[in-house]
Amino acid sequence: MALPRMVQRLTAWLDERVNVTEIWEFVRHKVVPVHRHTVWYYFGGMTLFLFAIQVCTGILLLLYYRPSAEEAYESVQFIVTEVHFGWLIRSIHSWSANLMIATLMIHLFSVYFTQAYRKPRELTWVSGMCLFGIALFFGFSGYLLPWNALAYFATKVGTDVAGQVPVVGHLLTQILRGGEEVTGATLSRFYGIHVAILPLLTTGILGIHLFLVQKQGMSVPVELERSGSPPTTMPFFPNFLLRDLVGWLTALAVLAALAAYFPWELGVKADPFAPAPAGIRPEWYFMYMFQTLKYLPAKIGPLDGELVGIMGFGLGGLFLLLVPFLDQRAARGEKSPLFFWIGVGIVTYIVVLSVLGYVAPGGQ
Amino acid sequence: METPGNARRGFVNVLLGGGIGAMMVSVLYPVLRFLIPPKSGEPTTSSVTLPWKPAEIRVNSGRIFKFGSQPGILVRTPAGELRAFGAICTHLNCTVQYREEKQDIWCACHNGVYDLNGKNVSGPPPRPLEAYKTFVKGEQIVVNKGA
């Protein structure tokens, strides 16, 4: 029997039971608007691609990793020195995590600046912001797993920050740490969070996010929508998907190059009775917060400086989460310069403080 | 209009809703309690004898020691006096270190600086380091917490 005939019969068999033609018809009719901001559409898919890489490499690392204070560092050392291609898998996992956060941020702010969060896509935005929060928590929890000195102190600081939350702070720190201090109990918890809880949450929320994107189609910029003329489009399949694939292949090439030429370092094993090493700093996507905490004075009015900083970041996050409901002009399909400039302010702040984190002299 | 049927239906709904609610509570309460770690049975340490002889500690140097489950820092000041503090930075929980060149106690995490009395003198730390009492008994250094 010829192959096409077999495929045809298989399709017919499936169609009779689950109506796959309907799905195929949906894919065939799906179009993507073409305009000068179309390029930003690729970053969501790129993030999804990098997430898929995280899942695959993460599963592989699970086969050798041991989540305890006594064995974690040694098991990662074993992975990168003894296991065939272990260095590559671990390095890709670390690099892909960082690239994923980067593409996620580009995706987030491109949606923000094109006001694509506006009615009727409020829930898509909110689910996306939840995924962003989860991604940061993925980064934070995964950072501890090799149990090295940098990660140990980053976790001490990070969980202490959670302790600044009014009323429930202490309880939150205890739940995160699995006790009063960062110990092997913390490592067990972060492991559970990193490989079970966060993937479960991601699967659910990502499902909703992607469903909404398919259901509502791509948003077009306000000015194009207001011009009244129907936008030019290209078919999703195969035109847009093939372009997507080129992006993914590029990402894979960049990833392989980074992993091979700049293998991710393991550092020294965590020692709870050693001072925090000079030059300690968090991952780049937490750098602006870290640098802000350095600049804040011990007291701002009656409050501790760090509390003011943490409340500031909390309010910033809340603002971003709720922006579709705050920006009434965008909801009416109008341009909203105020929100545009607030966005510019946020991005400038993040960029300037992050750069300062790397270039400010003498541990300032 | 209120009929006996409606009243019965309402009553059954309340019963059903209450039952489901009670079941949720009975499931969630143990889960929440499970998440909060139990208090460890470790006794609180109030005094430790350090593993070093007084003569081993150079003038203008500092060392981290284990005080129960927490780190402490022993400093021999440039004047030759031994002092001990809790080594946990009051800002965000990092472990501090002695800086010989600047003769101060420094936290690398957010650049917090304490003087040799443990007082926070610059950077973000809001409070001084916890001060311990230091005694030299013959060849031993003993560090005490509190009064």
B147 pLDDT above the threshold of 60 = no
To the question of pTM greater than 0.80 for the whole model, the response is yes
Predicted confidence at residue B125, as pLDDT, reads: 93
CA A271 from centre of chain: 29
- Taking CB atoms and an 8 Å cutoff, what residues of chain B touch A153? 94-95, 109
Instruction: Write the pLDDT tens digit of every residue in A308-321.
Output: 999 999 999 999 99
- C-alpha–C-alpha distance, residues A153 and A279, integer Å: 12
CA A289 from centre of chain: 16
Predicted confidence at residue A362, as pLDDT, reads: 53
| Residue A96 domain boundaries | 35-220+234-272
Does the beta-carbon distance from A293 to B124 stay under 8 Å? yes
Q: What is the DSSP string of B14-48?
A: HHHHHHHHHHHHHHHHHHHHHHSPPPP-PPPP-EE
Predicted confidence at residue B2, as pLDDT, reads: 66
Percent of chain A at pLDDT > 70 equals: 99
Q: Which of A258, A259, A276, A269 is nearest to A77 (CA)?
A: A269
Two tokens at A112?
A: 């923000």
Predicted confidence at residue A247, as pLDDT, reads: 92
Instruction: Write the pLDDT tens digit of every residue in A67-85.
Output: 999 999 999 999 999 999 9
Sheet order of strands, B61-67 included: B47-49, B140-145, B131-137, B82-86, B70-76, B61-67
Provide the pLDDT confidence category of residue A340 given band limits of 50, 70 and 90: very high
Q: What is the DSSP string of A297-323?
A: -SEETTEEHHHHHHHHHHHHHHHHHHH
Does A173 map to a domain?
yes
User: How many distinct structural domains can be found in chain A?
Assistant: 1
Provide the pLDDT confidence category of residue A364 given band limits of 50, 70 and 90: very low
Cβ–Cβ under 8 Å, residues B94 and B109: yes
Query: In terms of CA atoms, which chain B residue is nearest residue A309?
Result: B124
How wide is the angle at C-alpha B103 spanned by C-alphas B101 and B108, nearest 5°? 80
Cβ–Cβ under 8 Å, residues A63 and A133: no
Please name the fold of domain B47-145: Rieske Iron-sulfur Protein (2.102.10)
Q: Which of A123, A130, A283 is nearest to A211 (CA)?
A: A123
Q: What is the DSSP string of B105-140?
A: EEETTTTEEE-TTS-EEESS--SPPPEEEEEEETTE
Instruction: Write the pLDDT tens digit of every residue in A179-204.
Output: 989 999 999 999 999 999 999 999 99
Two tokens at B142?
A: 């003993």
Indicate the residue of A175, A177, A296 with minimum beta-carbon distance to B124.
A296
Per-residue DSSP letter, B85: E
Per-residue DSSP letter, A40: G
Query: In terms of CA atoms, which chain B residue is nearest residue A171?
Result: B36
Asked if the ipTM is above 0.95, the reply is no
Does A214 map to a domain?
yes
Provide the pLDDT confidence category of residue A342 given band limits of 50, 70 and 90: very high
A295–chain B nearest CA distance, Å: 7
Token pair 């980067």 in the structure block, residue = A102
- C-alpha–C-alpha distance, residues A241 and A252, integer Å: 16
- C-alpha–C-alpha distance, residues A290 and B109, integer Å: 9
CATH number, domain containing residue A76: 1.20.810.10
Provide the pLDDT confidence category of residue A358 given band limits of 50, 70 and 90: very high
Cβ–Cβ under 8 Å, residues A33 and A232: yes
Interface test with A, best of B36, B45, B95, B100 (most A CBs within 10 A): B95
Cβ–Cβ under 8 Å, residues A214 and A236: no
Does A346 map to a domain?
no
Query: In terms of CA atoms, which chain B residue is nearest residue A156?
Result: B93
Cβ–Cβ under 8 Å, residues A159 and A173: yes
| Domain residue limits, chain B | 1-36, 47-145
Does A3 map to a domain?
no
Half-sphere exposure of A109 (CA within 13 A, CB side): 16
Does the beta-carbon distance from A298 to B37 stay under 8 Å? no
Does A116 map to a domain?
yes
Does the beta-carbon distance from A156 to B94 stay under 8 Å? yes
| Helix residue ranges, H only, A19-114 | 20-29, 42-62, 72-81, 86-113
Does A7 map to a domain?
no
Long-range CB contact pairs, B117-120, < 8 A, 24+: B117/B83, B118/B83, B118/B85, B120/A298, B120/B90
